[in-house]
Structure 1
Amino acid sequence: MTHLTSREPGKRERLIAAAATVLHEQGVEKTTLADIARAADVPIGNVYYYFKTKDELVSAAIGAHGAALCVLLTSLDALATPRQRLDALIGGWVDQRELAARYGCPTGTLASELDKRADGLDRKLAEHMLGLVAWVERQFREMGHRHDARELAVALVAAYQGISVLTNTLREPELMVAEGLRLQRWIDSL
């Protein structure tokens, strides 16, 4: 009995991780449960044991995006200064430039696609995006920007989302590098 308990969460976690990847690469509408099952190396019949619908699996993938963001932000919080934290955040975005060039930002592309639906999943994803904005806002506040921290945070996240779209559209990863350097200079000038 213990053996089954330890195996079943493994399949569920593999399905969620595969969903996050396949949804990013193919989009929600093109992705089937069979695609996700194949990527997770789980028989298609087992998918229904964990997720009754594709939307439940999309929701779980959104949760995985949120969990990954929390892990990232927690690791960045270990850095000594807010400027170092923001530089590391930008550096992480730049490090993902090849992925962005091929598929766009995982959260941003999913947000754009879910916005066209009326099932509320877009709002669940928006909570994670708001969490990122709030974290960036906190960094700017700690840097002494008490009155405009929110505006600066929105500008930084919007710049990243914009360069992700442009990098993806033009398939030019070096655009992300140039924008990362510009954003770091901008932060240094504040």
Structure 2
Amino acid sequence: MSKRGDMRRRRLLAAAASRFWHQGYGSTSLADIARDAEVPLGNVYYYFRTKQDIAAGVADIFVAETQTMLEEVAEAESDPRRRVISLLRRLSQSSRSRVEHGCPISLAVRDFKADAPQAASRAAQSFELLTGFIGRELQRTGSRPSVALAKAREIIVEWQGGISLAHALGDATVLAESFRRAEQRLLKV
């Protein structure tokens, strides 16, 4: 694919990710995505045969961004607890948008399930990556694997639950409290 074509493909995926997040997968048309990406509707089919293919591309972005974030955290910190705390702080940087719109990954997993189940599974891999990273880091502190995995899941549930409730109530304090509780749990490990 040419450089220009690659740029159009990325614009289409960015437009789709934004639309899916803000108005839902089912309510988003290919015409909406094309218009937002400033790509003629007929050209969308050159890059993606179906809306499900676009969903798969969006899911790939979520996974790639999660992997990149985890690599950056691992490079910046050597202490396992500090790595997890650094990760939580990175996640908290997007709190405002999460309070306004919810979590784009969890919404994609939910919305893709019926029409694009492979894309839903792929998007869910972001949560698996986060849970695995936290679990491995907690094992490095001396926790047994089963305890570390349970604690990692607890942290992800705390974060996602905080997003859900903060979004429902329109209250950023709820999400800030979730991050504080997650950090406090880490200090007890």
TM-score past 0.5 threshold:
yes
SS at match of 1:115: helix
Identify if the C-alpha distance between structure 1 residues 118 and 73 changes in structure 2 by more than 3 Å, giving closer, same or farther: closer
**Cα pair distance change 1:106/1:118, threshold 3 Å:** closer
Which stretch shows the higher mean deviation, 164-173 or 13-22? 13-22
Distance 2:3 2:186 in 1: 46
Runs of 4+, deviation exceeding 4 Å: none
- 1:177 matched to 2:188? The reply is no
Residue in 2 aligned with 1:62?
A: 59
RMSD of equivalent CA atoms: 1.6
Identity %: 27
1:158 corresponds to: 157
- Structure 1 unaligned residues grouped into runs of 5+: none
Count, aligned residues: 187
Q: TM-score by structure 2 length?
A: 0.92
Would the aligned equivalents of 2:106 and 2:124 in 1 still touch at CA under 8 Å? no
Q: Check if 1:88 corresponds to 2:82.
A: no
The answer as to 2:44 corresponding to 1:47 is: yes
Structure 2's unaligned 5+ residue stretches are none
Q: Secondary structure of the residue that 2:2 maps to in structure 1? A: helix
1:58 deviates by 0.6
Q: Deviations over 1:92-121 (max 9, x none)?
A: 222211111111111112112233457433
Alpha-carbon contact 1:20-1:65 (below 8 Å) kept? no
Question: How far is the alpha carbon of 1:89 from its aligned partner?
Answer: 1.5
Is 1:30 paired with 2:27? yes
Spell out, residue by residue over 1:27-58, the C-alpha distance to the aligned partner (whole angstroms, 9 max, x if none). Answer: 11011111111222212121111001111001
Whether the 8 Å CA contact 1:103–1:168 is kept in 2: the answer is: yes
Deviates more, 1:63-72 or 1:108-117: 108-117
Q: Which moved more, 1:57-66 or 1:146-155?
A: 146-155
Give distance in 2, aligned partners of 1:183 and 1:119: 31
* C-alpha distance in structure 1 between counterparts of 2:156 and 2:186, whole Å: 13
Once residues 126 and 182 of structure 2 are traced to their aligned partners in structure 1, the CA distance between those partners, rounded to angstroms, is 22
2:107 — aligned with what?
Answer: 109
User: How far is the alpha carbon of 1:69 from its aligned partner?
Assistant: 0.5
**1:146 maps to what in 2?**
144
Matched, 1:15 2:12: yes
Q: State TM-score, norm by structure 1.
A: 0.92
SS of residue in 1 equivalent to 2:178: helix
